[in-house]
């Protein structure tokens, strides 16, 4: 299978990262709130569109978010996480006041893994596996 590289100003390549982050206090904020989950998906897609990133896979479980995103070489992983978590926290807390009970929507931490060591297909299979609740 041939790799399709993206062409950027002064760069050619393909950078993909698997991100996971959790709500503050690992609360199951998405457990019984489908509208919150759908709005979060919309916000994450709007961030990706604005930044010209490509979400390859996204899963919002009751107490964590999985995101596999292809990004450009002009952004660090920390900047990517900040963009997704920052905008989603601000918008979701404005639109869903029950989230204001938490000191913040997301914890400061996150997990990231570039897809060099594991194939992207394995990560896609993992994210799309219905084992998440």
What does 61-89 look like in DSSP terms, one character per residue? -SS-EEEEEEE-TTS-HHHHHHHHHHHHH
Check residue 91 and give its pLDDT: 98
Residue listed under structure tokens 């899963």: 59
Q: CA geometry: angle at 81 spanning 78 and 84, to 5°? A: 150
pTM value? 0.85
Check residue 73 and give its pLDDT: 87
Dihedral sign (CA 60, 66, 71, 73): positive
Q: Is the predicted pLDDT of residue 13 greater than 90, yes or no?
A: no
CATH code reported for the domain at 12-128: 3.30.70.1290
Check residue 12 and give its pLDDT: 86
Domain boundaries, the chain: 12-128
The pLDDT tens digits of the residues spanning 96-107 come to 999 999 999 999
């Amino acid at each position: 299978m041939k790799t399709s590289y993206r062409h950027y100003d002064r760069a050619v390549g393909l950078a993909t990262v698997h991100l996971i982050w959790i709500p503050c206090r690992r609360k199951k904020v998405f457990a019984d709130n489908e509208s919150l989950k759908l709005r979060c998906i919309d916000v994450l897609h709007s961030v990706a569109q604005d930044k010209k990133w490509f979400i390859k896979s996204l899963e919002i479980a009751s107490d964590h978010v999985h995101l596999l995103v292809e990004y450009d070489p002009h952004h660090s992983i920390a900047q990517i996480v900040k963009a997704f978590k920052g905008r989603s926290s601000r918008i979701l807390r404005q639109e869903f006041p029950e989230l204001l009970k938490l000191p913040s929507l997301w914890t400061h931490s996150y997990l990231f893994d570039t897809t060099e060591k594991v194939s992207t297909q394995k990560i896609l299979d993992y994210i799309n596996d219905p084992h998440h609740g």
